[in-house]
C-alpha cells in the first residue's frame, strides 16, 4: 500500500507525462503470501495451487519486461503477495536487472535467506522496502495472523542489516497495531534514518471478498486517530501543509477527464496473472487488458490512451469532488472509488472525512 505525500517534481517525470513514456511499472509476481494480514487487499494463501497456476511464467514476465524497456521504462517494482515465494524469484530479478531496469522489491522479509543475501549483495536493488507490522510478537502476529511470523521477520531483517544491505522500513497504521505506532516509528527510524512512512488509508480487496472487506473496514483508523499519528511526524505535517497550500495557490480548473494522475501516462501495473492496468488498484471491467491475449506494446500504445481519454459523466461529481480544494489532502482516485462504491465517479466518505480533519489540523 502506498501513501506518497512528497511534493517533488523531477524533470524526468514531467517530460515523461507529456510524452506518455512508461518510466516505471509495477510487477506483481504473485498474489500468494505466507502471511494473512488483516488489512491486505490482495493476498491469497501461500499454498493456493489455483493461484499459483495462474501466475505469469518466467518467459511471460521476461517478454513483457523487454517490451516495457523498449517503450522507455527505467524503473520496475517487484511486488505481490510475497514475491520471495516464487521459486524463480532470482531468475526474474536478474532478468529485469540485465535489461538495465532499476529494480525495487517489496517484501515482508520473513523468507529472506542466504541466497537472497548473496543476490542482493552482488546486484543491489534500487530499493528494498519492508513493512513492519509491530515490534512485539503479539502485535505483529495479531496483524499477520501467522504464528511464528515475528521471529521470521526479525531473522530476515537482521540478515539483511548484518550484510549491510540497505533497506527502507515502513508500516501500515491499523487498529491492531495502533498502540505500538510510536515504538514502530522509533524501530524503523533507528534502522533507516533517511526514510520512514506509514499508511493509514486502507483500500478494499481487489477480489471484492465481502468478509475480508468487512475486516479491512474494521481495521481503519478514525480521522482523529490518523491526525494524532500524523502530528507525531513533523516532516509529514510539513509536506501536508505544502500540499494544502498547493491546492489553493495553483488550483487548476476542473477537468472532465476521469483519470488525471500519472496512471497510463508515466506508468502501469501488471498483475500476477497477466492483466495490464493503468495502476495496481484499477480493476474496472473494460479498463483492463489481458496480456495473454495481446502484447504490452499494444496495451500501452493503443489501449491505455483510450482509457486515459474517458470523460466524467455526472455533473454532480464535476461540481463536488473534482472542484474540491481539499483533493490534495484526500487521495481520491477513480480506481479506489470503484473498489469502495462500485462506481469510479463517486466520492469516498472515509477519504472526505480524513481530508477535512487534515485541513482543520493544518
The pLDDT of residue 147 is above 70:
yes
Q: What is the pTM of this model?
A: 0.91
Report the alpha-carbon distance of residue 44 to residue 346 in Å, rounded.
28
Whether 113 and 133 have beta carbons less than 8 Å apart is answered as no
Residue 201: per-residue pLDDT: 87
Percent of the chain residues topping a pLDDT of 90: 73
**DSSP strand pairing (275-277 vs 267-270):** antiparallel
Higher pLDDT, 105 or 234: 105
Confidence of residue 4 (pLDDT cuts 50, 70, 90): very low
> What would the mean pLDDT of 257-264 be, rounded to a whole number?
87
Q: Do 27 and 66 contact (CB within 8 A), yes or no?
A: no
pLDDT at 242: 81
Going by pLDDT thresholds of 50, 70 and 90, the confidence category of residue 197 is confident
- The confidence score (pLDDT) of residue 82 equals 98
- Give residue limits of the domains in the chain: 12-220+252-311
> Residue 154: what pLDDT?
98
How high is the pLDDT of residue 320? 73
Residue 246 in this model has a pLDDT that exceeds 80:
no
For the chain, percent of residues with pLDDT exceeding 70: 91
Nearest to 304 by CA among 2, 57, 71, 56: 71
Looking at beta carbons, which pairs linking 155-161 to residues 24 or more positions away fall under 8 Å? 155/110, 155/112, 156/108, 156/109, 156/110, 156/111, 156/112, 157/109, 157/112, 157/130, 157/191, 159/112, 159/113, 159/114, 159/117, 160/109, 160/112, 160/117, 160/120, 160/128, 160/130, 161/191
pLDDT-based confidence at residue 254 (cuts at 50, 70, 90): low
CATH fold group of domain 12-220+252-311: TIM Barrel (3.20.20)
For 89-98, the pLDDT digits (tens) are 999 999 999 9
Would you state the pLDDT for residue 219?
98
User: Confidence band (pLDDT; 50, 70, 90) for 252?
Assistant: low
> Is the model's pLDDT at 69 over the cut of 60?
yes
For residues 352 and 336, the answer to whether their CB atoms sit within 8 Å is no
Task: Please state, rounded to an integer, the average pLDDT across all residues of the chain.
Answer: 90
pLDDT at 224 over 50: yes
Of 32-36, 172-176, 241-245, 351-355, give the lowest mean pLDDT range.
241-245
First to last CA, the chain: 25
* pLDDT score of 8: 40
Q: What is residue 5's predicted lDDT score, i.e. its pLDDT? A: 33
- CA 335 – CA 342 distance, rounded (Å): 10
Whole-number Å distance between alpha carbons of 213 and 220: 11
Cell of 128: 528494498
Q: Which pLDDT band holds residue 11 (cuts at 50, 70, 90)?
A: low
Strands 75-79 and 127-131: unpaired
Residue 195 — pLDDT band, cuts 50, 70, 90?
Answer: confident
Amino acid at each position: 500500500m502506498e501513501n506518497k505525500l512528497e511534493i517533488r517534481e523531477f524533470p524526468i517525470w514531467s517530460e515523461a507525462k507529456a510524452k506518455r513514456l512508461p518510466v516505471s511499472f509495477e510487477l506483481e509476481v504473485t498474489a500468494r503470501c505466507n502471511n494473512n494480514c488483516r488489512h491486505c487487499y490482495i493476498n491469497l494463501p501461500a499454498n493456493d495451487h489455483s493461484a499459483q497456476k495462474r501466475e505469469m511464467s518466467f518467459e511471460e514476465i521476461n517478454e513483457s519486461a523487454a517490451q516495457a524497456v523498449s517503450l522507455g521504462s527505467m524503473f520496475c517494482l517487484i511486488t505481490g503477495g510475497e514475491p520471495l515465494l516464487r521459486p524463480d524469484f532470482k531468475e526474474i530479478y536478474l532478468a529485469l536487472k540485465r535489461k538495465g531496469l532499476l529494480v525495487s522489491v517489496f517484501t515482508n522479509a520473513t523468507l529472506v535467506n542466504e541466497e537472497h543475501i548473496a543476490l542482493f549483495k552482488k546486484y543491489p536493488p534500487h530499493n528494498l522496502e519492508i513493512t513492519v507490522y509491530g515490534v512485539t510478537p503479539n502485535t505483529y502476529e495479531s496483524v499477520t495472523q501467522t504464528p511464528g511470523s515475528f521471529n521470521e521477520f526479525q531473522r530476515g531483517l537482521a540478515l539483511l542489516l548484518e550484510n549491510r544491505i540497505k533497506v527502507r522500513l515502513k508500516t501500515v497504521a491499523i487498529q491492531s497495531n495502533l498502540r505500538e505506532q510510536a515504538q514502530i516509528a522509533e524501530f524503523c527510524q533507528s534502522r533507516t534514518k533517511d526514510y520512514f512512512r506509514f499508511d493509514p488509508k486502507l483500500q478494499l480487496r481487489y477480489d471484492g471478498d465481502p468478509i475480508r472487506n468487512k475486516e479491512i473496514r474494521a481495521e481503519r483508523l478514525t480521522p482523529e486517530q490518523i491526525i494524532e499519528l500524523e502530528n507525531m511526524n513533523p516532516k509529514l505535517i510539513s509536506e501536508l501543509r505544502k500540499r494544502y497550500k498547493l491546492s489553493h495557490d495553483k488550483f487548476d480548473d476542473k477537468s472532465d477527464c476521469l483519470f488525471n494522475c500519472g496512471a497510463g501516462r508515466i506508468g502501469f501495473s501488471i498483475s500476477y496473472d497477466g492483466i495490464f492496468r493503468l495502476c495496481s488498484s484499477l480493476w474496472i471491467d473494460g479498463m483492463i487488458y489481458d496480456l495473454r491475449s495481446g502484447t504490452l506494446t499494444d496495451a500501452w500504445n493503443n489501449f491505455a490512451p483510450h482509457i486515459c481519454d474517458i470523460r466524467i459523466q455526472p455533473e454532480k461529481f464535476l461540481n463536488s469532488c473534482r472542484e474540491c480544494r481539499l483533493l490534495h489532502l484526500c487521495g481520491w482516485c477513480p480506481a479506489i472509488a470503484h473498489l469502495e462504491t462500485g462506481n469510479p465517479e463517486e466520492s469516498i466518505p472515509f477519504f472526505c472525512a480524513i481530508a477535512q480533519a487534515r485541513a482543520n489540523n493544518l
